[in-house]
Structure 1
Amino acid sequence: MRRLLLTAALPLMLVACDGGGDPVQQALRDASAERQAATVTDGEISGPAPVDHAAMGHGAAGGPTPGDQAFAASEAEMHRLMAEASGETVDQSYIAKMIAHHQGAVAMAEVALRDSRDPEIRRMAQAVIDAQTREIAEMRAWRPAG
C-alpha cells in the first residue's frame, strides 16, 4: 500500500517542484502519471511491462523498421553536427553540442508532425519544437562570463 501511495504521489510532487511551466516537462509528467495509473491493479502495483522490442523499432530480423527509417536522416544529421560542434572551453563546447542536439530534437519532432496522425504525439512534437527552439535561442545568446 505504501508503494501505491508513493507511486500515486510522484507526479504531484514533480508538478509541485517544477511549477508546471515547461510544456515538454508537463507532457512527460502527464505521460508518467498515465503509465503509473495503468500499472495499479486491485490496489497493488504490477511489475514493469515486458519490453516489446518490435514496437521499439527492432523488427523481427533486427533491421530498421519504417518508423526507424523515418527518423534516420534527422538522427544521422544530429550526430554529425554534435560530433563537429566544439569550443575552446567546456562551456563553449557544451553550448555548441547542445544546440546541435536540440536542432536534432526539432528535426525529429518535425518528422512526427509530418507523419503521425496521433493527436497526442502531434501535441508532444509541437511542444518539443516550441521548447527546444526557445532553448536554442537562449543558448545562442549565451556569452562567456568575463
Structure 2
Amino acid sequence: MRLRAAVFGTACLLTLAACDGGGDPVQQALRETAAANQSATVAYDQVETAATPLTETEAAYARTQLQRNREAVAAARAVLAEARDARVRRSAQAVVDSRTREIAELEALVPGAPAE
C-alpha cells in the first residue's frame, strides 16, 4: 500500500513538473501566447520602414483620422470631468489612452499636420 502511494505521489509530482512550475496548463498556455504576441508586437514596432513620402490619399486619410481622434479625446475628457459611473469612466479613459497614442502615430506620419 505504501509503495502504491509513493508511486502515485511521484507520478503526481512529475505531472506537475511537466506543467512548467506546476501551474495550470491552460494558464501556462495563455502566458506563453501573451509572451509570443508581445514579442511579435515589439518586433513589428522595431522594423524600420522606409521614409517615403505619403501619397495624397494616405495624407488625407491621416489628417481625417487625426481630426476624428482629437474630437473623440475631447469628448472623452468631457465625460471624465463629469461622469460618476466607474464603467463609463473606464471606457472614457480607454478612449483617451488609445486615441492619444494614435494621434502621436499619425502626427509622425504627417509632419505638417496642425497640432491640437
Structure in which a larger fraction of residues adopt helix: 2
Q: Structure 2-normalised TM-score?
A: 0.47
Larger RCO (CA within 8 A; separation ≥ 6): 2
Q: Structure 1-normalised TM-score?
A: 0.37
